[in-house]
Structure 1
Amino acid sequence: MKIVIVSDTHMPRKGRELPRTLQKDLLESHLIIHGGDFQTLDVYKEFARYGELIAVAGNVDSDELQSLLPKKRVFEVKGLKIGVTHGDGVGKTTEKRALEAFEEDNVDVIIFGHSHIPFLRFMKGVLLFNPGSPTDKRKLPYYSHGILMIEDTWKIEHKFYT
């Protein structure tokens, strides 16, 4: 099972279309997880056209998206319990805010966004993953998104591109 993980697309402000590398992965995916900051409902609908979409609202999403999407989600895929949140807020690092959001949920993986900084690390026994951004790399050298493969075991990794 191939799951595409993306966040912080910020379209149309930061791009007119999704990068080709991301489009190719979306076409091959069984599930899409978006960590918020689509920006508009049209961008949300574009992702949904590629297949099943699990998403949360980000801090710059339109009012329409804020009312449609939750700030936090927990779900299970093939025995892997996943939490998704955008990670925005006040105080602490984005990673710590994401971790605290799921303290009571006993998840295996937490997917978050907000900082646009690719992140892959275990904290308190939970894997935290930020896919970065496919359209707004800020001062980083590459755009990015994530791929989660689940078969007998699972692995998660970043895909970097220019």
Structure 2
Amino acid sequence: MMKIVVLSDTHMPKKGKSLPERFVKELPSADAIIHAGDWQTKEVVEELKGYGLPVYGVYGNVDGEDIHSVFPYKQTINLNGYRIGLIHGHGEKKTTEKRALEEFKDEEVDLIIFGHSHLPLTRYMNKVMLFNPGSVTDKRKLPYYSFGILTLEEEVHAEHIFFS
């Protein structure tokens, strides 16, 4: 079993001074962290790496060269036998989820993790799970902040954690 904590759109320090306690509480039992972009500053990268876990990520539309130099626009990672596509999801036309799906149309992936919309989502399209964790620091008009937990075993278990 592998537990991955997933977050996106931290927009720190603009939308939050530090990672929320509810999010940090999950890290001791996690095997990896995935961030789907819009970190805003390199300090977020350093803070997450400070927990001693592998940190996978991509850059988003608000990220500058400091983040571009660490993370790609998109990537595919293999974790516990699953191929996971990772992208922020920004762009022109279409919905964020359709843009994310389109980016991996020529690749065989089991799961696509994306962000950008700040809207938590779990759904299947064309036998591929799409997962957006929402945002731990910028809920916009939603009632709660959110992040995700993926458990990779014989099947993928995806869960959103909502908190205020």
Partner residue in 1 for 2:150:
148
Partner residue in 2 for 1:76:
78
Q: Verify: 1:29 aligned to 2:30, yes or no.
A: yes
| Pairing 1:131-142 to 2, within 5 Å after superposition | 131-142=133-144
Matched AA of 1:48 = K
Partner residue in 1 for 2:42:
41
Give the Å deviation of 1:114. Answer: 0.2
Q: Which of 121, 124, 131 is equivalent to 2:123?
A: 121
Give the Å deviation of 1:111. Answer: 0.1
Say what the alpha-carbon RMSD is for the aligned residues: 0.9
Equivalents in 2 of 1:26, 1:98: separation in Å?
26
**TM-score, L = length of structure 2:** 0.96
Give the Å deviation of 1:78. Answer: 1.4
Equivalents in 2 of 1:65, 1:31: separation in Å?
19
Matched AA of 2:40 = Q
1:41–1:62 contact (8 Å) kept in structure 2 = no
Unaligned stretches of 5+ in structure 2? Answer: none
**TM-score, L = length of structure 1:** 0.97
Unaligned stretches of 5+ in structure 1? Answer: none
**Deviating runs (4+, > 2 A) in structure 1?**
151-154
Give the Å deviation of 1:61. Answer: 1.0
Partner residue in 2 for 1:105:
107
Give the Å deviation of 1:24. Answer: 0.8
- Among all aligned residue pairs of Structure 1 and Structure 2, give the percentage whose two residues are the same amino acid: 53
Count residues with an aligned counterpart: 162
